[in-house]
């Protein structure tokens, strides 16, 4: 699989990264190298290896449905770039729910 | 496009909030209506270094719903990150389920609205457990427009239930939603309150048309922003019409244009185009590294199945088979929820006639509950009390109008039947007294006797009215019978 400049453009848009043209070129080379590195895994014969859902050999880590205190609102809002007394404020969201 | 030559094809995606005390991955409260941003923590705010831990109760409730929907429950289920940016999604991804959902391939049977025939089976593609996002509120003050973000809801457990495109009309879609909501409330897994957002519906719809060139399908449209089941029905009807019109104008079919998302404008009663939905691959799903999988053994599924209480379809069938109710009446009772059906069955167990009990519940009891904003559990009249009252009516000791007054009195004061009757001065009139009263009335009104003899039996009605004026406790039917007998007896030489 070879990575194209268009792929990187699309991925950077999805990641909300604005890359100037020069960086886009450089990133295409870097990313292609990373993908190629991971692609080495394809060389392994995994026919008899059951799929793995998680790297840890653990399952059913569950918590009881018991209330614990939440953060104080002041504390929760403290680092917001923009806020009012009750809420975070962000530039107008248009187009309704996602 | 002639009216008969197309089929409306509908699939639904329903999100229901599960009834847990705390969120899916942290122990913040899920209580609706709290002041904004008072129910958040490091985990549901997605602060660096925080780790989610799965809520056991949420898994149990999701399993219960999935089993009731006849889904297959795989032995292993895992969670994935669905990546997108939106201000109400603090982590920049939603923890959802992608390729190994908690359940798949189930169905829900819809009862035939006419109460006969075979039920309509709607297949369920999958039901999976995911977290909710926060809420954004548009705010326009002093010339600048902002959105305000409340993250109390972020991380609340949701069960997403996706149907196959098996629904064939907007009305059928509404029936499905009613039945699903009823099922979930019988299961006690969700409040299913659309006003509070604990049940939300998106719909996918297109048309299949028979044309001279063969069968074609219009592009699929996803409709959002519908805030009631009626709105779902209307939005789907509007959209089917719009797609038919568009197809006649453009001739464009499925695959020629990307899938479109449209929002329902309830005020204008139209759907409007929204921005392009990102393709599934754009969400860049990948396994959630912070959560380990959950395994469900077949014995656990069997235990969940065994513990299911009677569901709506079963209870309808029982009301018809065990109590002789019409399918229609059974449906009305079952639609009121399990507590009302329990109340009905207790009333019958205490000796009330089933049909009479069903009528009373549908009329006097439901009206009282509505007027007073009570649930059946809060009704001051216990099932045994209603049964006693209905037995008196059946025995002819109390006529219906008087019984209604007694019932109202019982509701208002919490009194027993006997106490309510006494308070209202309702005592049974002794037979001798009733006979004496009838004799007196006949003697006082010879013209009525003449009219009755002349064949105008309806003249007896006036006597009944006069009898009730003298003694409100008399039974009109008995007054009528006794007077008729007395007149007939006087006729015989
Ligand atoms: Zn939290």
CATH number assigned to the domain comprising residue A29: 1.10.20
Express each pLDDT in A11-42 by its tens digit: 888 888 889 999 999 999 999 999 999 999 99
Range of the domain at A36: 5-43
The CA A87 to ligand 1 mean position distance, Å, reads 16
Token pair, residue B84, equals 């997108």
Mean pLDDT, residues B444-466: 85
Nearest-angstrom CA–CA distance, B115 and B334:
13
Q: How far is CA B221 from the centre of its chain?
A: 27
For range B298-309, the mean pLDDT: 94
Tally of structural domains, chain A:
1
> How far is ligand 1, taken at its centre, from the CA of residue B15, in Å?
20
- pLDDT bin (cut points 50, 70, 90) of residue B277 is low
- Nearest CB among A14, A60, A66 relative to B294 is that of A60
In a domain, A33, yes or no: yes
> Which residue in chain A is spatially nearest to B31 when comparing CA positions?
A67
Q: How sure is the predictor about B79, in pLDDT bands with cuts at 50, 70 and 90?
A: very high
pLDDT (mean) for B373-382: 93
Q: B76 — contact with chain A (CB < 8 Å)?
A: yes
CATH code for the domain defined by B431-491: 1.10.10
| pLDDT: which is higher, B327 or B471 | B327
Write down the pLDDT at residue B413: 92
Residue B138 touches partner A, C-beta closer than 8 Å:
yes
Q: Whole-angstrom Cα distance, residue B210 to residue B216?
A: 7
Instruction: Please state the domain extents for chain B.
Output: 5-299, 309-424, 431-491
Residues B253-282: what's their mean pLDDT? 83
- Please state, rounded to an integer, the average pLDDT across all residues of chain B: 91
Dump pLDDT digits (tens) for B1-24.
444 488 999 999 999 999 999 999
pTM for this entry = 0.84
């Amino acid at each position: 699989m070879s990575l194209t400049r268009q792929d990187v453009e699309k991925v950077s848009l999805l990641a909300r990264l604005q890359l100037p043209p020069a960086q886009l070129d450089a990133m295409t080379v870097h990313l292609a190298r990373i993908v190629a590195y991971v692609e080495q895994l394809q060389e392994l014969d995994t026919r008899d290896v059951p799929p793995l859902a998680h790297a840890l050999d653990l399952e059913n880590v569950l918590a009881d449905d018991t209330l614990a205190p939440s953060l104080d609102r002041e504390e929760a809002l403290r680092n917001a770039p923009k806020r009012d007394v009750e809420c975070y404020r962000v530039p107008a969201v248009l187009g309704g729910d996602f | 496009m002639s009216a008969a030559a197309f089929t409306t094809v509908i699939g639904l995606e329903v999100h229901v909030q599960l009834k847990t005390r705390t969120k899916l991955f942290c122990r913040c409260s899920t209580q609706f209506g709290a002041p904004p941003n008072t129910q958040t923590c490091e985990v549901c705010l997605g602060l660096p270094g925080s780790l989610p831990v799965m809520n056991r109760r949420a898994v149990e409730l999701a399993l219960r719903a999935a089993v009731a929907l006849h889904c297959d429950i795989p032995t292993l289920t895992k969670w994935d990150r669905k990546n997108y940016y939106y201000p109400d999604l603090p982590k920049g991804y939603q923890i959802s389920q992608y390729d190994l959902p908690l359940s798949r391939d189930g169905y829900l049977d819809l009862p035939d609205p006419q109460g006969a025939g075979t039920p309509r089976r709607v297949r369920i593609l999958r039901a999976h457990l995911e977290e909710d996002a926060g809420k954004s509120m548009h705010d326009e003050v002093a010339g600048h427009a902002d959105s305000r973000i409340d993250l109390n809801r972020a991380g609340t457990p949701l069960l997403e239930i996706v149907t196959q495109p098996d629904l064939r009309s907007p009305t059928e879609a509404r029936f499905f939603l009613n039945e699903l909501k009823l099922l979930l409330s019988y299961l006690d897994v969700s409040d299913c309150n659309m006003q509070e957002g604990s049940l939300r519906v998106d719909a996918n719809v297109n048309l299949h048309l028979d044309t001279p060139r063969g069968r074609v399908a219009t592009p699929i449209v996803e409709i959002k922003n519908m805030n009631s089941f009626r709105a779902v029905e209307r939005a789907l009807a509007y959209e089917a019409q719009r797609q038919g019109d568009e197809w006649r104008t453009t001739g464009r079919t499925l695959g020629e244009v990307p899938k479109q998302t449209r929002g329902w404008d309830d005020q204008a009663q139209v759907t409007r185009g929204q921005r392009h939905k990102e393709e599934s691959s754009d969400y860049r799903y990948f396994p959630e590294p912070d959560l380990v999988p959950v395994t469900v053994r077949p014995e656990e599924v069997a235990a969940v199945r065994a513990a299911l209480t009677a569901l709506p379809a079963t209870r309808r069938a029982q009301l018809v088979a065990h109590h002789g109710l019409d399918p229609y009446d059974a449906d009305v009772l079952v639609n009121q929820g399990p507590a009302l059906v329990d109340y009905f069955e207790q009333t019958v167990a205490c000796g009330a006639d089933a049909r009479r009990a069903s009528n009373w519940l549908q009329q006097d009891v439901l009206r009282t509950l509505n007027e007073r904003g009570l649930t059946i559990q809060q009704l001051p009249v216990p099932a045994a009390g209603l049964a006693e009252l209905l037995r008196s009516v059946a025995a002819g000791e109390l006529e219906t109008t008087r019984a209604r007054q007694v019932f109202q009195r019982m509701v208002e004061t919490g009194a027993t039947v006997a106490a309510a009757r006494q308070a209202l001065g309702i005592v049974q009139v002794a037979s001798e007294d009733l006979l004496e009263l009838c004799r007196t009335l006949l003697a006082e009104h010879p013209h009525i006797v003449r009219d009755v003899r002349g064949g105008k039996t309806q003249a007896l009605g006036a006597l009944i009215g006069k009898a009730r004026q003298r003694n409100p406790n008399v039974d009109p039917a008995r007054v009528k019978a006794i007077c008729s007998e007395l007149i007939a007896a006087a006729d015989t030489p």
